[in-house]
Amino acid sequence: MSDASFAWRVATPTLGPAGGSFTANVTVTVACVTPAATIHYTTNGVDPTDSDPTIATGSTVAVTQTTTLKAKAWLAGMPASSMASATYTLTVVAPSFSPFGTTYASAQNVTLSTTTGNATIRYTTDGTTPTASSPVYASPIAVSTGMTLKAIGLKTGWTTSAAATSTYTFNYGTLAAPVFSPVPGQVGDGTPVTISAAAFATIRFTTNGTTPTASSTIYTGPITVSGTVTINAKAFHPDWTTSPMSGGGYTIKVGTPVFSPDAGSFAPGQIVTVTDVTPNAVIRYTTNGADPTTTDPAIASGGTVVAGNYTLKARAFLTGWTSSDIRTAAYALTGPFTSWAASAGYNHSVALKNDGTVWTWGAYSGGALGDASTAGRSTAAVVNGVTGVVAVSAGAIHSLALRSNGTVWAWGDNTYGQLGDNTTTGRSAFAPATGLSSLTAISAGLFFSVALKSDGTVWAWGDNSSGQLGDGTLVQRNLPAQVPGLTGVVAVSAGDNYTLARKNDGTVWAWGDNAYGQLGDGTTTRRTSPVTVPGLTASAGPWAGSRYAFAASSTGALYAWGWNSSGQLGTGGGSSTTPVLVSSLANVTAVDGSGNNFSIARMPDGSAWTWGFNNNGQLGDGTTANSTTPYQVAGVADVSAVGAGLTQSVIVTSDGSVWTWGYNSSGELGDGTLNDRWLPVRISDASFNWRTSTPRLAPYTGSYSAPTSVTVTAVTPGAEIHYTTNGVDPTLADASVASGGSVVIDQSGTLKADAWAAGMPASNVASAVYTMNLPAPNVLPSTGTYLATQSVTMSAGVSGASIRYTTDGTDPTAASSGYSGAITVDATTTIKAKSFKTGWTDSAIVAKSYTLKVVPPTFTPADGSYGSAQTVALATTTPSATIRYALTGTEPTTSSPVYTSPITVGSTTTVKAVASRAGWVDSDSGAASFWFTAGTADTPTFSPPAGSSSGPVFVIISTATTGATVRYTLDGGDPTMASAVYQWPIRVDATTTIKARAYRDAFTPSGVGAAAYALDAAGAVDTPLIVPAGGIFAAGLTAAATVQATGATLRYTTSGVDPTDTDPVVPSGGIAVDRSMVVKVKAWSASAASSAVR
C-alpha cells in the first residue's frame, strides 16, 4: 500500500459487483477513494497502463459476455495503485420445455425456450446430450412416441447452459392379443403356426407354457409344431399397454393301434398282431377290460398276443404327443386253448383258464400276483397282458407261466434270482426268463425255478443253497443253466429245496436237499448232482412235495418217500428214505404236495383226495385234525386240476369252476374274506365266472355281552349287500346295507349276508353266529357286615334286560321276583340275582350276603369315678333291639336280665351289656366301669428319676396313697387294671419308658406317672430326652428332643423304625406331632459312639 519510506500509493480501485457467474449482462461500477486519481481499465485481461481508457470514479462498465475487468489508478506525486481485477462469467440459462415430459394419451408439440436473449437452442431426441453441432431449435417439435428430449442454450461469449432433459411417454391403450392360425388344438405333425398382431407391435412368445415377457423370443415367422406344445404370445409396444396373453396347447395325436385280425370268434391258438403307424410310439395293452395307461404292459408294433376269451384294448403313447384313441376288440375261442390248471404258493394262488389267461389272488408277497401293484387281493383278477399260457406254477413268493411258444414268463420275489432275468430285483409285472425257448414244462420251487426243454434237457436257476439246481455246486444262478448230464427227461418237479425228474425210460432222478430222505435214495445225504431213485420205474409224476415226494408206477400204484411228520405220505406209517406204497390210492392222475406237510391228489374219476397236516382246515374235511391216510373231499366232483399252497388248497373242475379251502389270512382263498374255510367254497361258476366277493363280517362269530355293531364289507366294487338275522339265506328282497356299513346285533342269532354285483354271479353266503350273553347284574352294596338296615340296588348291563332275585338263598329263575326298585334288607340275608332278556343267554347268578349286626349298647353316664350312686341308662341305635346286661363284670347271656329302665349303680362295679335282635347278629359287648371314691390316688413317683446311665438301674416306684396298688407298663402304654402289679424294684438294663398308675378301692385311679431311662454304651453319646414323653393327647403338640452332649446331632423317625444317620435332623423348633405316631430319636457325635434310641 506504500512504496519505500512510506511513499503511499494511490488507493486500489473497487469493482462492484465483484467477479462471479451470471446469467445476464452485468453493469460494473469502478471507483477509487483517492481524490483526483485517474482510473485506467482494460476488458481483455491485460494489465492497464496509463495509456488505456479511463473511467471516472463511480462510473460503470457494461459486461455483455464473459470478461476479465482490470483497473488501476494514477495520481501525480504518488506511486500508482495496486491493480484491481475481476472475472465475470456469463452462462446461458438452460432451456425449458412446454409441455414438460410425462405420460400422454395423444401426440404433443413441444416448445423450447430460454430467458437468455439472442441465445441459440440446440437439442436431441434420442436421449444423448446435445452439442454445438446438434439441430438448432427453430419451431415446436412434434412428439408422438416415447422419447427423451435434451436441449442446451448457446451464445457467443457466454458459457453454454447445462443440458435440460424432458422424457415423454405415451399410452394409447391396450394392444389386442395376438391371433393364432390355426387356433390351438389338435393339429397334424409339422403344422406351421402363424401369429399376427398390430403392425407396429412386437410379438414375443414361449413354447413351454410360461407367460411371455419383454425378454421372450421375438416372433419372426411361422412356428412348426412337431409334438405336443403350448405356445403363448403377447404383443408389445412402448407406447401401448402390453396385450393380454393368447395361445394354447397344440397336440399331435398318435395313430390308433390296429389289431389283425380284429374282434371275432376264432379257433384256439389264433395270433393277434398289434401295429401302429406312428414311428417310435409305445403301444400299451390290457386284457382285463381296463383302458390302457402308461403302466400297463407294452408291446412293440408288429408284436403279437394269443387270442382268448377276453377283450383286448390297446393305446399308443409318444412323448410330446397326444395319446392315441383306444382300440378295443372282443375275442372269443371256439374251443379250449389249453387245460385248466391250478397252483399255490405260500400265501397266493394261481389258476390257468382254458383260454390261456392266468388269474391270481392272495398276498402281494413281493409281486407274486403279477398285477404290477404292491397290495394283496382277496378276489381273483387276471394277470393283465399274459396270454397264450399252457401251464402255471407258484413258488413260495414267485410265479411262473409257460407260454405256447415255449417261453416262460416270471414275476414276484427275485431275491435268489428265481425269475431268471440275471438280476435279483423283484418284479410285480411279468417278464420273460432270459435265454429260454422250446420249453415244454415248468416247476417253481421254494426260491428257485426249473424248466424242461423239448430236447429232454433240464434247466434251473435261483437259490442253490442245497444243490437244488443240480449243477454240482451251491452257487446261486440268476440266469437259467442246464443241469449237466441229464437228458431224455419227460417230466420235472421242484420241491422246497430239491428237484425231481423222470426220464423217458421211467427212471426218477433227484438232487438237492435230502435232510428228510426226500431224494428217495435211501440216505439223508444232500446231492448237488442228479442221482437215481433206486427200484422205481414211474409212468406218472414225479410230484415233489415240500420235503417229501410221490410217483406213480406203470401199474398205477402210488409211491411216496421223505418226511411224514403229519401223515403227508398217506401211508399211515413213518418217514421213509425210499419209496413206499400208498396202498389206499391207485391210478392217481396228479398229486401236489408242495404245501406245508399236506397233499392233494386227483383221481381218474374226478375226485379229489387230501391227507396230512390240517391245522387250518386245508384237508377240506370240516375239521383241523391231521389225517395219515387219504380222505375224499366231499362236495366236489369232476376235478381237472389241484394245487396245494402253504396251508390252502385250490382245485378247478372240468367246467372251469374254482374251489378253495384252508387258511385265508391274506385272501389266498379268493372268496373276498379273510376267514379260514374248513370245507370247500366255490369262488367261481363255470369258465372262471368269478362270483361276487363274499361279504366280510367284523366282528365274526363269537360270544358278546353287549349289543354289537357288525361291519359288513364287500370288496367287489359296486356290490349290493343284503342280509338276514333269522338264519335264512338272504335274497334281493331282504334288508340291504352299504359296503362298510353296520348291522346291530342285539340278540343271539345268525347273521347272513349275500352280495350281488352287476354282471357277476351272487356271492357265497357269509354267515356268523353271535351268542349274546347277559352280564351278571350289578348289586350294591357289596357283601359285608352292616350296623343298619341296607337298601340294595341292582342294575343290568344291557338295556331292556330284567333282573329277577331271591332272598332265601335259592337260585333265581324266570319266575322269581322281578327287581323294580331298591330292596330293604333289615335282617341277615343272602340275595341272589340274575338277568334275563329275550334272545340273550341268561346271565350268571350274582350272590351278595348281608350280615346285619346290632350296634353295641352305650352307657349314660359314661364310666368313671363318682362320689355317689349313679342311675345308668343303656341304649342302642338299632331299632327294636333287646339289651341284656350283667353287673358283675361278666359277659351277658341270653338268660341275663333284659334292660327295661335305668339301672342304679352304687358300688364299684363294671356293667356289661349286649344288644340283640331277631335276624341280626348280636352286638359286640359294651362295658362301663364305675368307681365310687373318697378321693384320687396320688400319682406314682420313680427313684432314681428318669435319665441316662451307663449300667443297669433298679427303679423304685412309690405312691403317697396308703394301701394303693401300683400297676405299671414297660411298653409305653398307659397302665390299666389288668397291668402288672408293682411289687419290688424294677431292673432296667435297656432303654425303657416306665409308666405307672395307683389304684385303691373307693379312690379314683391316679394320673399316669412316666419315667424314661436310657442306658448309654461306654463311650457313647447320652441318650436323648423327649418332652413330653409319649402318651394320649387331645390335640397336636410339639415334642422337644435334647441331649446333654455338646455338638451332637439328633436324628428322628415317626414310623416306629430306629433312626439312622440318613434320617432327618430334629428341627430346632421340635418335632410336630399331628397324628398318632411313634417318635424315636438318636444322637450322633464325631467324638463318641452313637447314643441309644429314645
Number of domains in the chain: 9
Task: State the CATH number of the domain containing residue 361.
Answer: 2.130.10.30
Q: Domain boundary at 170, 205, 227, which?
A: 170
Query: Residue 300 domain-assigned?
Result: yes
1027 vs 735, higher pLDDT: 735
Query: Residue 967 domain-assigned?
Result: no
Residue 817 shares a structural domain with residue 705: no
Q: Tell me the Ramachandran region of residue 435: left when phi exceeds 0, alpha when psi lies from -120 to 50, beta otherwise.
A: left
Instruction: Using the predicted structure, report yes or no on whether residue 1017 has a pLDDT greater than 70.
Output: no
pLDDT digits (tens, 9 = 90+) for 313-329: 999 999 888 899 999 99
Q: Are 441 and 459 in contact (CB under 8 A)?
A: no
Query: Residue 609 domain-assigned?
Result: no
892 Cβ neighbours under 8 A, 6+ residues apart? 884, 885, 886, 912, 913, 914, 925
Query: Residue 151 domain-assigned?
Result: yes
Q: Domain boundary at 772, 803, 820, which?
A: 772
**If pLDDT is split at 50, 70 and 90, which confidence band does 1029 have?**
confident
Distance CA 13, CA 27 (A): 16
Q: Are 385 and 296 in contact (CB under 8 A)?
A: yes
Q: What is the mean pLDDT of the chain?
A: 94
- Provide the pairing of β-strand 953-958 with 941-943: antiparallel
Q: Are 389 and 371 in contact (CB under 8 A)?
A: no
**If pLDDT is split at 50, 70 and 90, which confidence band does 175 have?**
very high
Mean pLDDT of 829-846: 96
Residue 329 shares a structural domain with residue 198: no
Query: Residue 1003 domain-assigned?
Result: no
Residue 291 shares a structural domain with residue 356: no
Instruction: Using the predicted structure, report yes or no on whether residue 161 has a pLDDT greater than 70.
Output: yes
982, 985, 990, 995 alpha-carbon torsion, rounded to 10°: 40
Q: Are 967 and 1007 in contact (CB under 8 A)?
A: no
Q: Are 716 and 760 in contact (CB under 8 A)?
A: yes
Residue 351 shares a structural domain with residue 481: yes
pLDDT of residue 1013: 84
Share of the chain above pLDDT 70, in %: 100
Residue 821 shares a structural domain with residue 734: no
Reduced to 3 states (helix: H, G, I; strand: E, B; else coil), residue 687 is helix
Residue 283 shares a structural domain with residue 390: no
Residue 799 shares a structural domain with residue 726: no
Q: Are 898 and 914 in contact (CB under 8 A)?
A: no
C-alpha cell at 483: 443241469
pLDDT digits (tens, 9 = 90+) for 462-490: 999 999 999 999 999 999 999 999 999 99
Residue 208 shares a structural domain with residue 297: no
Q: Domain boundary at 251, 282, 312, which?
A: 251
Query: Residue 645 domain-assigned?
Result: no
Instruction: Using the predicted structure, report yes or no on whether residue 587 has a pLDDT greater than 90.
Output: yes
Nearest to 207 by CA among 322, 317, 318, 320: 320
Neighbour count for residue 452 (Cβ, 10 Å): 23
Residue 238 shares a structural domain with residue 374: no
585 vs 949, higher pLDDT: 585
35 Cβ neighbours under 8 A, 6+ residues apart? none
Instruction: Using the predicted structure, report yes or no on whether residue 1019 has a pLDDT greater than 70.
Output: no
Query: Residue 525 domain-assigned?
Result: no
pTM: 0.67
1094 vs 883, higher pLDDT: 883
Instruction: Using the predicted structure, report yes or no on whether residue 1069 has a pLDDT greater than 90.
Output: no
Query: Residue 379 domain-assigned?
Result: yes
pLDDT digits (tens, 9 = 90+) for 566-576: 999 999 999 99
Residue 922 shares a structural domain with residue 820: no
Residue 343 shares a structural domain with residue 482: yes
Q: Are 936 and 1008 in contact (CB under 8 A)?
A: no
Instruction: Using the predicted structure, report yes or no on whether residue 1034 has a pLDDT greater than 80.
Output: no
Residue 8 shares a structural domain with residue 81: yes
Task: State the CATH number of the domain containing residue 241.
Answer: 2.60.40
Mean pLDDT of 554-579: 95
The domain of 263 spans 258-333
Distance CA 383, CA 586 (A): 36
Nearest to 997 by CA among 954, 943, 959: 959
1094 Cβ neighbours under 8 A, 6+ residues apart? 991, 1012, 1014, 1023, 1024, 1025, 1026, 1041, 1080, 1081, 1082
